[in-house]
Amino acid sequence: MERGTFLVPCEDETLLFHKPAKMKDRLGFGFVLCSAVFMILTQERALANIDSESHGVNSESVEEEEWEMVQRKGMQFTLNGQPFYVNGFNTYWMMTLAADNSTRGKVTDVFQQASAVGLTVGRTWAFNDGQWRALQKSPSVYDEDVFKALDFVVSEARKYKIRLILSLVNNWNDYGGKAQYVKWGNASGLNLTSDDDFFTNPTLRDFYKAHVRTVLNRVNTFTNITYKNDPTIFAWELMNEPRCPSDPSGDKLQSWIQEMAVFVKSLDAKHLVEIGLEGFYGPSAPARTKFNPNPYAAQVGTDFIRNNQVLGIDFASVHVYPDSWISPAVSDSFLEFTSSWMQAHVEDAEMYLGMPVLFTEFGVSAHDPGFNTSFRDMMLDTVYKMTLNSTRKGGAGAGSLVWQVFPQGAEFMDDGYAVYLTRAHTASKIISLQSKRLAIFNSLCGWRCKWGCKKKNHTALDALLSH
């Protein structure tokens, strides 16, 4: 967002167990039920901790298991051979605050509180180009103290068993963005006239590639692990919300995506890669543009289906901001749009892309006319239900990341969308419940299940989810 301005289904149709002995089935189901209840009780304790402002779980209490890379198999993410459905969050400013010892503790607070409500993936910036506390002060010139701050963010995420999507540049001017690259190009003697020259100019493409190479090859000063080898990193994001409105055909952006996706994979074949798209439909799918929030969305140079068919892209990203795209005034139309927007992209991920789709940003701003926390909670609930509807069918809807989680004391960074988990008790409970449901899916799905199969009987599992 612009800042500032199956269950893997089983072959066996009796849910997750094979048939030979009915007693064995009963014992198996009893074990599943007990496990699910234990999980629920454990996470209720975590939620109680955050409600009492205890700042989440102690990382030392987190059970140590082998820390593996998240992978993709078909339309699902996998971890250690099991499905990995995501309930996550955004906190974009963590590197910036970690660069100052007086605010570094806020990063720890974020991870503690996110962990306490079961969030497993965070998304944040691995860029700050030419701005206050810049990571990259000029092309390929870095502030080592700020880089160490990013190291700290990654190490804290690992400590709390949270994986990270790291975005590599901004479309918007905040934190530098493509406009800063154009300024650097002109300072080096180029004659660039549009911010969209970022996508086409060979020198600027090289500037970007150099930054990508530097980040991926960085050795974390806290963990001594090279970023490109660190399972803490869930995925690389090529750009936050890329747009190229100077070329509504989408060809310029498509060419850039093709080059950069292959380049990232040439440096790091282990991690997942996504583009960072908002999800707007373009010229390649005129029948789908009816789902766009407004006519202008089809003219910004992005093309959801075509862009995500590029070699090297592992999953699709979509953002959900009815208050920015439809109307700033809160109304029920926000929820209706959210449902249809999400359903359309899940269908496309299944029918045309064959990959997971992650709703990597969604939210509603406290600055919107008519905003109240009850509506924010309804928005959370709508997104989570749409995600779960896909998850329980083994579909491509792989999860969502709320924009954005804040600790107390970071109000000066609040863009209106902040969810303060220690005081937004209803929202925290909704988030925690979604985490529990997805944890049940993730834990049950690996038991004697096989990929790509179908099942008809959801009764027992749905009973667990309802509980």
- Write out the catalytic residue numbers: 241, 361
Query: Burial letters for 354-364: b for 16+ Cβ neighbours within 10 Å, e otherwise?
Result: ebbbbbbbbbb
Q: With beta carbons less than 8 A apart as the criterion, state whether 78 and 84 touch.
A: yes
* Chain centroid offset of residue 465 CA: 23
d(CA 239, CA 236): 9
E strands, 95-186, in order: 121-125, 136-138, 141-142, 163-167
Residue at token pair 């990063």: 107
77-82 long-range CB contacts below 8 Å, 24 or more apart?
77/272, 77/315, 77/356, 77/398, 79/442, 80/446, 81/446, 82/442, 82/443, 82/445, 82/446
What tokens were used for 149? 């701050």
**Bridge partners, 83 (sequence order):** 78
Q: Are strands 272-274 and 82-83 parallel, antiparallel or unpaired?
A: unpaired
Other Cβ atoms within 10 Å of 104 Cβ, number: 16
Q: With beta carbons less than 8 A apart as the criterion, state whether 51 and 428 touch.
A: yes
Classify 437 as helix, strand or coil: helix
Residues 6+ positions from 37 with CB-CB distance below 8 Å: 467
313, 304, 307, 308: which is closest to 286 by C-alpha?
304
Q: With beta carbons less than 8 A apart as the criterion, state whether 105 and 153 touch.
A: no
Q: With beta carbons less than 8 A apart as the criterion, state whether 167 and 123 touch.
A: yes
Q: What is the Rg, in whole angstroms, of the alpha carbon atoms belonging to the chain? A: 22
d(CA 264, CA 51): 41
The crossing angle, in degrees rounded to 10, of helices 459-466 and 22-51 is 20
Other Cβ atoms within 10 Å of 242 Cβ, number: 25
418, 382, 419, 425: which is closest to 400 by C-alpha?
382
d(CA 399, CA 368): 25
